[in-house]
Each structure stands twice: as structure tokens, then as C-alpha cells.
Amino acid sequence: MYCSRCHYEYIEGTEDCPDCHEKLVPEPPEVERSGAADETGEFADWVEIGRLTSQQYADMILEALRTRGMPAIILSGAGYFGLSGQMGISSYLPAGGTYSLLVPGEFVKDADAEAETLLGDEWLKARVNKPI
């Protein structure tokens, strides 16, 4: 079962997403990497601004951005068993990181500034491109 909003997978028997409170669906929803929009259809150009190797950092930035009214999503490449297929912390992390932070294009500068304020040098290493 999958959440149609946050796209997390849950075990059989779970009916609602504990984070989003959405009804779960049997098939994983498709994630649009470009041309995505929020529920109102307002945002059309989502941009990857950083790749983090820590789920905690990704969650911190996501919460901070949403608290400040900036839409943001994290796409995870790790999955439940990690990148190496082992439970727990993965023994292998690719150079690019495993948690991609995406925001609509109009929020790139503000989101980047917020992430840098929050994480400092960690964000500078995770940043994909410095916004103009």
C-alpha cells in the first residue's frame, strides 16, 4: 500500500498514511520530476537544488521550508533496505547522495538560502547548483 501524497510504502493492513493522513492506494503513484504541480496546479517547474546523504538533514530542511510556506519534496533513493540491500544504514553511498530536495523554480533562491542557514557547510556540499 502506498500514500498518494508522500509516496511512502506501508505494510499490508495499514489504511491511512500516518504522516499525511491520506488513504493508501494499492499501486505506487507516479512521481513527476519536471512539470509537477501542487494540489492547486500553481507550480510548474520543480528543480532539484540539493542531494543529501542524511535522512535527518533532508527531513530538517523539508520541515523548515514547509514551515516558511515553501513547497518542497524529498525523493529518496535509499528505500527500506538501503542502497546495499542491508537493513539499517547503508554501507555504500553514491557520490551524489541519496535524498534529492526539489522545490518549484520560483522558490529556488529562498529555499537555498534557508538550507544554507540551517545546515551551513553541509548544505554547500549537498547543493546541486548555486542559484543565480
Separation CA 90–CA 84 (nearest Å):
6
Q: What percent of the chain has pLDDT over 90?
A: 20
Is 50 exceeded by the pLDDT of residue 92?
no
- Which segment of 8-12, 21-25, 113-117 scores lowest on mean pLDDT? 8-12
Between CA 119 and CA 108 the distance in angstroms is: 16
Hey, where are the domains in the chain? 1-30, 32-126
Q: According to CATH, what is the number of the domain 32-126?
A: 3.30.70.1530
d(CA 3, CA 17): 6
3-state secondary structure 59-109: HHHHHHHHHCCCCCEEEECCCCCCCCCCCCCCCCCCCCCCEEEEEEHHHHH
pTM for this one? 0.55
Lowest-confidence region among 11-20, 48-57, 73-82, 102-111: 73-82
Say what the pLDDT of residue 44 is.
Answer: 58
Q: How confident is the model at residue 129 (pLDDT cuts 50, 70, 90)?
A: confident
